[in-house]
Chains A and B, each alone.
Chain A
C-alpha cells in the first residue's frame, strides 16, 4: 500500500547544481501536484498536472520544471539550484468524485541549497 512515494528524503546541493525530485503514485489518480513548505508560509503550489501530458503552473513555479509522461510519475526538476529553493517539498496525488476532493501527500523531500 505505497500511496505516494517521494525520493530522495534528503538532499544537499550546491548553488547552480541541478537535480530531479522523484514522485510516484500507485492509485491511478489523474491529478498530481508539487508543493513547497516554508516556515510561516504554509504549503505553496509549484506545478500541477491534470493528466499525462498536461501540466500547469502554480503559485511559485519559477526555477522549477515538471513533466508528466505517465499517470504514475510526476518528477520535479531544479535546473540551477539557488539558496532560495531550500525548503521541504511535497508531492501529492488527488481525485474528485461525488462532490468530494481527496488529496494524498508523500512524506516529503528536505532540500538544502548551499
Chain B
C-alpha cells in the first residue's frame, strides 16, 4: 500500500528549461508535504515544503504546488541547472504523528 507515489523513476531536462517532478498521495489525512534532494553517498537534504492550507510555496528557483482535490503535488525547478541533477523524494506527514511517508524517488538529470 504505497501511500505516496512518484510514478516517474527518471526525468531528463535540458539546462535552463523547467523541470517538473510529480507526486501523488492517497491518504487524505496528510496535512504537510516536503521535497528532499539526494546526491549519491549523501543523506537526503530538505528542499521545500508546503502545508495543506496552501496551494503554492515558492523559494527561489523552486516552487511546490499542491492540489488537494486531486491529491497531487508537483515541484517546479526553473531554470534547471546541472547541480540540480539528483534524486528527488516527495514525502507526506500527518502533523503530530511524526511518521514521514516517502515516495519512491525520481532521478532528475539536467543535460548541458
Chain A, interface residues (CB within 8 Å), range:
20 to 34
Chain B, interface residues (CB within 8 Å), range:
20 to 34
Interface positions of A from 13 to 44, Cβ below 8 Å from B: 31, 33, 35, 40-44
Interface presence of B25 (CB below 8 A): no
B95 touches A96 (CB 8 A): yes
A40 touches B89 (CB 8 A): no
A43 touches B98 (CB 8 A): no
Tell me the interface secondary structure of chain A in the complex: strand
How far apart are the CA atoms of A4 and B6 in the complex, in Å?
A: 27
Interface presence of B41 (CB below 8 A): yes
Q: What are 20 sample pairs from A and B whose C-beta atoms fall under 8 A apart?
A: A33-B100, A35-B102, A40-B9, A42-B104, A42-B105, A43-B44, A43-B89, A43-B91, A43-B102, A44-B102, A45-B100, A45-B101, A59-B101, A90-B44, A96-B96, A99-B95, A101-B100, A105-B36, A105-B44, A108-B42
Query: Which positions in B face A, CB cutoff 8 Å?
Result: 4, 6, 9, 32, 34, 36, 41-46, 49, 51, 89, 91, 93, 95-96, 98-105
